[in-house]
Structure 1
Amino acid sequence: MTTELSMPRRRFFAFGAAAVALAASGCGVGGDKSAAVTYADAKSSGRIKVGFANEAPWAFLDAKGELTGYAPVVARAVLKKLGIDEIEGVVTDFDGLIDGLRAQSYGFVAAGMFINKKRCESSAFAIPDYQVGSAFLVPKGNPKQINRFEDITRADVRMATLGGAVENGYAESSGVSGKLIEPMAKQDDILRAVGNGDVYGAAMLDVTAAWLVRTNPDANLEVTQSFHYNPKSDVGTFNFRIDDTEFLADFNRELRALHDSGEWLRLVKPFGLTAANEPDRAATAEQYCAG
């Protein structure tokens, strides 16, 4: 289910802000005309809706209620080259983002979603935009020594995940009982559960875990060492409807130009991404869609 929110929701620790329909500094809406949900209309109006999951540092609302994060910042730079100057964020639970895209609730998804075979069946991915590893968000000192998915079974502890995220599949493939994995709809739900001791920790992207520890210094949490579950690095990017071939081609052209110029790295550094997160230039969405 997709919802455009109009007021902030409660914050957990120092992280987060509300998911709202945005209206600030070229990243939201203003006036009477709603932002477009198709490329043709967006080129005409200069405004487009994007789906995001309010998950820092990928796409979230800052303390001023403005849409920011790796994906919106990169998307905004690309869209300006295409004559689209404003984006309106539509918050959606992570596992509902592709359904909302197909239902034309927004023009594309800016949430840093991993490319995988299952998702490729119902959406089209841009070129790989970043690579990242996995890690665990755990209590300081990591008393249960959870460093790999197999350790969850050994220690018999419950771990949170984001609903629809790849960590759920990684846990299952590692033989972890479903009773020990608790998917949650939102990142702040995970933070609250770990902070309150409702679960031992959480499996998530290493960049995400590092961001949460950095922005919540009083939470008494730490992030484990990063690792790659698969032989090749996981990569994430933007999602489009399968039939939006013109939009995808134009977006890919300008996204590649950001990487080639070095501008991409400057844009993403504030969100904890570094040169190590640059994907292999030879990698393609088609390769990852093939499994």
Structure 2
Amino acid sequence: MTNIGTAGRRWRRLAAAALAAVALATTGCGTGGGAAAAVTYDEAKTSGKIKAGFANEAPWAFLDKDGSLTGYAPDVARAVLKNLGIDEIEGVVTDFDGLIDGVRANHYAFVAAGMSIKPKRCETSDFADPDFQVGSAFLVPRGNPKNIEKFTDITGSGVQIATLGGAVENGFAEQAGVPSDRIEPMAKQDDILRAVRNGDVYGAALLDVTAQWLVKNNPGTGLEVTPTIQASDKPEVGTFNFRKGDNRFRDDFNRELRKLHESGEWLRIVEKYGLTEANEPTPAMTTEQYCR
């Protein structure tokens, strides 16, 4: 019988090696040529090109079949940055768990990955205003024979659940008292889908929008998505991430981001990625509130 924990760790090592090979490579999203894409706001204002870190997680930020950077975060960022005089984004593929370290190390100017605002992350980086709200859900075999619908269901079920390494669902599982050997963090979304589809793990805990996207865009997998849950005492919110000290960049970005929401353009941009009006955060949700 296969040791699932060992297999999961092997996947993580292979995924980490693959990511390491491409972490410093960039995927162009503009016309190319001319000045190099910048890793600081001031340089980007001059060159018109900027680098953004992303984790290749659909529908948040990912490479399409042509190898172009697409998704909710890049498309919203393009609309914001265009109004700041920056016309091109170059994506730097990075393990989700390493995105903040990458922006701090100047590998790119900001993170466009649909990252949740969490106090621990706020200690070492800055976030834009909340840009979306979501819940969590489980990607499970059709019919959900083990009846996994919330994190507390995992403990007594005897199953293992995959997560994206560094994602909020790992913390939710820990808070719910789920034994660590029941959770299998993986570096890549493709690994998670493959593991659930092949039965190497029972299911996966993901953002609800992510799980719904995977089922919709991978027909024939025999998987379904459980009802959305709020695993904490308030809705999960996410946005764009900046290095500490880049206050002018963050403030200018926030100003144009608010305009997108106020005009209704934000909803028009994100609808094709499965986000709806229900995913818009309320004005009462602030970065300061979620960083506390």
- TM-score, normalised with respect to structure 2: 0.91
Structure 1 stretches of 5 or more lacking a match? 7-18
Structure 2 equivalent of residue 75 of structure 1: 77
Show the counterpart of 2:170. 168
Supply the distance in 1 between the matched residues of 2:220 and 2:27 (Cα, whole angstroms). 30
Q: Distance in 2 between matches of 1:119 and 1:88?
A: 24
- Is 1:22–2:27 an aligned residue pair? yes
Preserved contact between residue 4 and residue 21 of structure 1 (Cα < 8 Å): no
The more displaced of 192-201 and 103-112 is 192-201
In the other structure, the counterpart of 2:222 is: 220
Query: Residues 226-265 of structure 1: matches in 2 within 5 Å?
Result: 226-265=228-267
Q: 1:43 to 1:4 in 2, by over 3 A?
A: farther
Write the distance in 2 (CA, Å) between the matches of 1:242 and 1:191: 34
Give the distance between the partners of 2:34 and 2:101, measured in 1 at CA: 27
Give the count of matched residue pairs. Answer: 275
Aligned counterparts of 2:202 and 2:85: Cα–Cα separation in 1: 47
Q: For residue 34 of structure 1, what is the aligned residue in structure 2? A: 36
Secondary structure at the residue paired with 1:153? coil
SS in 2 for 1:56: coil
Q: Return the alpha-carbon distance in structure 1 between the equivalents of residues 20 and 103 of structure 2.
A: 13
Q: Secondary structure at the match of 2:154?
A: helix
**Offset, 1:29:** 6.0
Please give the secondary structure, in 2, of the residue aligned with 1:82. coil
Following TM superposition, by how much is the alpha carbon of 1:232 offset from its aligned partner in structure 2, in angstroms? 1.1
* Residues 74/126 of structure 1: CA separation in 2 closer, same or farther (3 Å cut): same
Partner of 2:86: 84
Distance 1:202 1:3 in 2: 24
| Consecutive aligned runs of 4 or more in structure 1 exceeding 6 Å deviation | none
User: Which residue of structure 2 aligns with residue 15 of structure 1?
Assistant: none
Paired with 2:158 and 2:27, the residues of 1 have a C-alpha distance of 43
String of CA shifts for 1:5-40, please: whole Å, max 9, x gaps: 49xxxxxxxxxxxx97333xxx34612532000000
- Structure 2 gaps of 5+ residues are 1-15
Contact 2:172 2:232 in 1 (8 A): no
Report the residue type matching 2:222 in the other structure: N
Once residues 173 and 45 of structure 2 are traced to their aligned partners in structure 1, the CA distance between those partners, rounded to angstroms, is 42
Identity %: 68
CA RMSD of aligned residues (A): 1.6
- Provide the residue aligned with 2:3 in structure 1: none
TM-score (structure 1 length as normaliser): 0.92
How far apart, CA to CA, are the structure 2 residues paired with 1:251 and 1:168?
29
